[in-house]
Amino acid sequence: MLQVNQSFTFIDGPITRDLIKKYAKLNNSVNLIHVDDEYAEKVGLKGVIAHGMLIYAYFIKHVNRIAEVNNAFLLNTHSQIRGMVRPGDWIITTIKVSLVAGNTISFDVEIDSKMPLELSKNGKITKTYEGKEKGWVKDKEESGIDGEETTDGILTFRRWKAIRGTAQIQLN
Amino acid sequence: MSERSENYFNQFSGYEFEPQRYRIKGKNLTSLAELLEETDPKYYPIPDISAEEKPDYSKVVSHPAYAPLYIVPGLFSYGGLHGDDGEPLIKNPGKILHTGQTLDYSNCVPLTGTDKKIYTDAKISRIDVKEEKLWIDISTITRNADASKIFCKSVMTIMVSKGGF
């Protein structure tokens, strides 16, 4: 049984150019900022970005999965697009139960993008990622830069809000 | 800042667009599920690779995440609205950002591979200028031809930044 403040975290990715192209094909995307790096650079984006609705699709997938394992169905979802997601980013979805009212369960949902920047071992940079090479971290996002130990060394990354939203499911 | 007064945009409030028709392709329903690594067989039935006949998508259920794929493309045709002065509502489509999306499945039925053609009715439910940006909510209802089935209700929020309206 779902309870208020119960929380679920899902990690998907990394988002790839191939995945973005496949989504663009599905929605007959005419917006080149998703599929053409040269065009995206021309309009000041420093490269392609994922469709907001592709990232939203992961939001819906995870809430719908929670609904199904709890013998419930998806009532609604609401999203606000807060930041861009780039090829190479991981997406971290956090879903928290905010209210249980009768048969209706409400959730707060957040998706962060985690952009790898560089990998270092013994103080030496062993790998640099596209996010670092192309300067994808905006000034305002620098507070989201952090590091973590991995089996290959210390990974420096930028974590930033991509989507904030809510959802409701109804128990059968 | 736009030279138009904020009142200029009131004329678009409540505007109803021509219904947008969308053709459902069974393959696309499963392609989205595959892309999301959705393993539930109702969304992504395991393909029978030994079958010689064309795949049967009639029993495939559309994943709820499919809805933006039939709702959002209409956004590009909605941008062609003109005001009573003959000028386009959106002067520079490059300034449009899709900033929010609500999907409401209450009292709706799931879309399946048998629903070949669906229609989205859309109207402007809110339009106003705030902090030098134009905000537009477009409310939509997606249905079958005779409206005996509703598949999804939605509100799409777009923001047009300075210089675009």
With contacts defined as CB-CB under 8 Å, which chain A residues touch B159?
Answer: none
CB of A152 less than 8 A from some CB of B = no
CB of B94 less than 8 A from some CB of A = yes
Question: Per-residue pLDDT for chain B (165 aa), expressed as one digit of tens each?
Answer: 457 888 999 999 999 999 999 999 999 999 999 999 998 999 998 766 666 677 888 889 999 999 999 998 877 666 679 999 999 999 988 788 899 999 999 999 999 989 989 999 999 999 999 999 999 999 999 999 999 999 999 999 999 999 999
pLDDT score at A122:
94
CB of A103 less than 8 A from some CB of B = no
Mutate to test the interface with A, among B36, B120, B152, B155 (most CBs of A within 10 A): B36
pLDDT score at A86:
98
C-alpha to C-alpha distance for B117 and B14, rounded to whole angstroms: 26
C-alpha to C-alpha distance for A91 and A78, rounded to whole angstroms: 18
Query: Would the CB atoms of B68 and A57 count as touching at under 8 Å?
Result: yes
ipTM of the complex, rounded to two decimals:
0.93
Among A76-80, A104-108, B42-46, which stretch is predicted with the lowest mean pLDDT? B42-46
Cα torsion angle, A15, A62, A51, B44, sign: positive
pLDDT score at B93:
81
pLDDT score at B6:
83
Nearest-CA distance from B30 to chain A in Å? 11
SS (H, E, C) chain B: CCCCCHHHHHHHCCCECCCEEEECCHHHHHHHHHHCCCCCCCCCCCCCCCCCCCCCCCCCECCHHHHHHHHCCHHHHHCCCECCCCCECCCCHHHEEEEEEEEECCCCCCCECCCCEEEEEEEEEEEEEECCEEEEEEEEEEECCCCCCEEEEEEEEEEECCCCC
pLDDT score at A146:
98
CB of B101 less than 8 A from some CB of A = yes
pLDDT score at B2:
53
Q: Is there a contact between A47 and A40 (Cβ–Cβ < 8 Å)?
A: yes
Query: Would the CB atoms of B97 and A68 count as touching at under 8 Å?
Result: no
pLDDT score at B121:
96
CB of A60 less than 8 A from some CB of B = yes
Report H helices in chain A: 17-26, 37-42, 52-69, 130-133
Average pLDDT, chain A: 96
pTM of the model: 0.93
User: Chain A residue with minimal CA distance to B40?
Assistant: A65
C-alpha to C-alpha distance for B124 and B141, rounded to whole angstroms: 12
Is residue A149 pLDDT above 80, yes or no? yes
pLDDT score at B48:
64
Local confidence band at A118 (pLDDT 50, 70, 90 cut-offs): very high
Mutate to test the interface with B, among A32, A56, A82 (most CBs of B within 10 A): A56
pLDDT score at A72:
97
In this prediction, residues A2-15 reach a mean pLDDT of: 97
CB of B81 less than 8 A from some CB of A = no
Query: Would the CB atoms of A53 and B72 count as touching at under 8 Å?
Result: yes
Is residue A56 pLDDT above 70, yes or no? yes
Give residues with Cβ within 8 angstroms of A65, minimum separation 6: none
Instruction: Find the angle CA(A118)-CA(A124)-CA(A130) to the nearest 5 degrees.
Output: 20
pLDDT score at B94:
78
Cα torsion angle, B1, B2, B8, B10, sign: negative
What is the residue type of A163? I
pLDDT score at B76:
65
